[in-house]
């Protein structure tokens, strides 16, 4: 199974989600990308800090979402409903495999906390939210 996580810049939420799922289930192939990512940027320092606190490897370079990513994935999980809507507008054929993560796991149209630019405590809160969602996600896949 191939899972793609998508956020805005691919420096905070989606790479944390990728790292968490890789740790939880090594059988699933996982990638992440950003809708408006600057290719080759590093993961945010605070995101790296939180992953290191959890002993999760975190070497990551941001990537812009591509058609190849969409075609590669069996499931695409976005951090927000607006990310999902963007993907469905740009890649209509991906509609049946694209969900916001909270929609898929909880059946709710809510967004994952965006820690971008915030203190490390906000990144910890986002990590905790993502870890809970991804544990439930892994059980559903």
Given 12, 13, 63, 69, the catalytic residue: 13
- Residue at token pair 């989600």: 17
Among 58, 111, 114, 124, the one annotated catalytic: 114
Q: Does 108 qualify as catalytic in the annotation? A: no
Q: Are 79 and 7 in contact (CB under 8 A)?
A: yes
Q: Is 114 one of the annotated active-site residues of the chain?
A: yes
58 is catalytic: no
Q: Where are the alpha helices (DSSP H) in the chain?
A: 13-24, 45-53, 67-72, 81-90, 101-106, 120-140
Residue among 48, 110, 46 at smallest CA distance from 78: 110
CA distance 139 to 141: 6
Q: Are 13 and 115 in contact (CB under 8 A)?
A: yes
Catalytic residue among 7, 12, 63, 69: 7
User: Which positions are catalytic?
Assistant: 7, 13, 114
């Amino acid at each position: 199974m191939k899972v793609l996580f998508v956020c805005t810049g691919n420096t905070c939420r989606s790479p944390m989600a990728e790292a968490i799922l890789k740790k939880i289930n090594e059988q699933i192939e996982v990638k992440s990308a950003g809708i408006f990512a600057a290719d080759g940027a590093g993961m945010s320092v605070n995101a790296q800090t939180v992953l290191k606190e959890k002993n999760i490897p975190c070497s990551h370079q941001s990537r812009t979402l591509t058609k190849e990513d969409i075609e590669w994935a069996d499931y695409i999980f976005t951090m927000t409903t607006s990310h999902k809507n963007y993907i469905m507008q740009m890649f209509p054929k991906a509609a049946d495999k694209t969900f916001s993560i909270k929609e898929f796991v909880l059946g709710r149209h809510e967004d994952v906390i965006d820690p971008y630019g915030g203190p490390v405590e906000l990144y910890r809160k986002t990590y905790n939210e993502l870890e809970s969602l991804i544990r439930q996600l892994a059980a559903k896949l």
